[in-house]
Amino acid sequence: MTEPRTAIVTGAGRGIGAEIAQRLAAEGHRIAVIDLREEDTSATVEAIISAGGEAIGVGADVSDSSAVEAAVARVADELGAPTILVNNAGILRDNLLFKMTDTDWDAVMGVHLRGAFLMSRAVQAHQVEQKWGRIVNLSSTSALGNRGQANYSTAKAGLQGFTKTLAIELGRYGVTANAIAPGFIATDMTRATAERVGVPFEDFLAHAAKEIPVGRTGVPADIAAAAAFFISEEASFVSGQVLYVAGGPKD
């Protein structure tokens, strides 16, 4: 039996984050759906509520320290102390190294690394007080290196080190930290990549599927299932791990 907790999922207005939010709500948790703009959270919030769950939408830029502090305080106020955190918000600013601008670099580091740091620092205060917590960070197979993604692959590799350090520091308070490294998942993010390289999304998916041992591309539910496991009560002895969810071996 799952004990209901308060969970924050960042970047949950759409894509993988929206699916994780709905999955955790279905398991009985109260969900704070964080996205850049509050209005972009309404579809996820409404889906949760119409399925009988409890959710609020909060607009916050995860790379902005004061916005993060205010968002976490509001969640604690309206839903109770947040003890589950999924650092999912992400952006792409792909380019080959020689064309990558300072802004492309800083924007990606800001959302993925600074964002996960600020959110985790704010939420751990509640987790330590409650002596229970779960942090799940979204890494990527790109952490192993990917052409055109010097910024993104660095951030996603960095998140793996961040995860292991959180596991070491917070374990004594009943808090686990794990990372999921998805392979190719069909979302707006991969659709945007297909558009950028000028390939119809269906062809892009079919081409990607040929390279994947299980013969298909991933869907957000594949990632939500992995997140649900890390967050479950029974995963309390699993911490500091990176799980590649990519339809085949990766590291």
Which residues of this chain interact with ligand NAP, rule CB under 6 A? 10-11, 13-17, 35-36, 40, 61-63, 88-91, 111, 115, 138, 140, 182, 184-185, 187-190
Rounded to a whole number of angstroms, the minimum distance from the CB of residue 131 to ligand NAP is 28
**Candidate list 152, 204, 230, 244, residue with the active-site label:** 152
Tokens coding 104? 């492309």
Gap between the Cα atoms of 189 and 91, Å rounded: 8
Query: What Rg do the C-alpha atoms of the chain give, in angstroms?
Result: 17
> 118 or 167: whose CB is closer to ligand NAP?
118
Gap between the Cα atoms of 123 and 72, Å rounded: 7
> 109 or 185: whose CB is closer to ligand NAP?
185
Rounded to a whole number of angstroms, the minimum distance from the CB of residue 2 to ligand NAP is 24
> 57 or 133: whose CB is closer to ligand NAP?
57
Tell me if residue 173 is catalytic: no
> 151 or 187: whose CB is closer to ligand NAP?
187
CA 79 to chain centre: 20
The structure tokens 């709905």 sit at 22
Rounded to a whole number of angstroms, the minimum distance from the CB of residue 173 to ligand NAP is 25
Q: Are 23 and 31 in contact (CB under 8 A)?
A: no
* Residue nearest ligand NAP, Cβ-based: 15
Rounded to a whole number of angstroms, the minimum distance from the CB of residue 160 to ligand NAP is 12
Residue type, 108: V
DSSP state at residue 218: B
Residues composing the chain: 251
Active site residues: 152
